[in-house]
Structure 1
């Protein structure tokens, strides 16, 4: 992953992670009611996003962080599908934009691929 892309991805993750805490109710709202402990999972995924963002920013733990981020992105994908099918807005008092909800789905695929590619990168040797 190129440095600019990695830093942008990092910024997106850290911002989203912080929003899990500052707008927790919105994230609970978009989750299917069948999922237990939704508030806990919102906070947990917020922590995961912040940690992944920090790892990306500082280019740390490539294999582990990239693998976990790939799994994480795949696991949250069904919530985005649920939002699109149910036409769920991003919060209880907001308007849903179905086209935007469906457009998010293919846009998430490069995030999954990017995380996977990052997990495959070898740490550059500083030895000669």
Structure 2
């Protein structure tokens, strides 16, 4: 989590809760479109944190290639979510 984002633990918990709720929303036809757009918005919102992880020296426990591979993966996930929108 980038240092400029306040309440790190709260933000992690809220984003995790959003992932769960939006994922469940994909299961139902009447909420699928809204959930897909919510997932796209969530992926956009967490993108700066993934950039921070890839460029920061704080995350040496993860191979750099994995941290950088996550970045384009998010665009693929957005395209997948868009297919439900």
TM more than 0.5: yes
Distance 1:70 1:80 in 2: 15
* Structure with greater helix share of residues: 2
2:5 to 30, 35, 43: 35
Find the residue that maps to 1:95 and give its secondary structure.
coil
Deviation >2 Å, runs of 4+: none
Relative to the length of structure 2, the TM-score reads 0.86
Q: CA deviation at 1:33?
A: 1.5
Based on CA coordinates, which of the two structures has the bigger radius of gyration? Answer: 1
Q: Tell me which residue corresponds to 1:114.
A: 80
CA RMSD of aligned residues (A): 1.6
Q: Tell me which residue corresponds to 1:84.
A: 54
Distance 1:105 1:76 in 2: 10
The answer to whether the Cα contact below 8 Å between 1:32 and 1:82 also exists between their aligned partners in 2 is yes
Ranked by relative contact order (alpha carbons within 8 Å, sequence separation 6 or more), the top structure is 2
Q: CA deviation at 1:96?
A: 2.8
The answer to whether the Cα contact below 8 Å between 2:40 and 2:81 also exists between their aligned partners in 1 is yes
Relative to the length of structure 1, the TM-score reads 0.60
Q: Gaps (5+ residues) in structure 2?
A: none
Q: CA deviation at 1:87?
A: 3.9
The answer to whether the Cα contact below 8 Å between 1:52 and 1:65 also exists between their aligned partners in 2 is yes
1:72 pairs with 2:38: no
Q: Gaps (5+ residues) in structure 1?
A: 1-30, 120-128
Q: Tell me which residue corresponds to 1:103.
A: 69
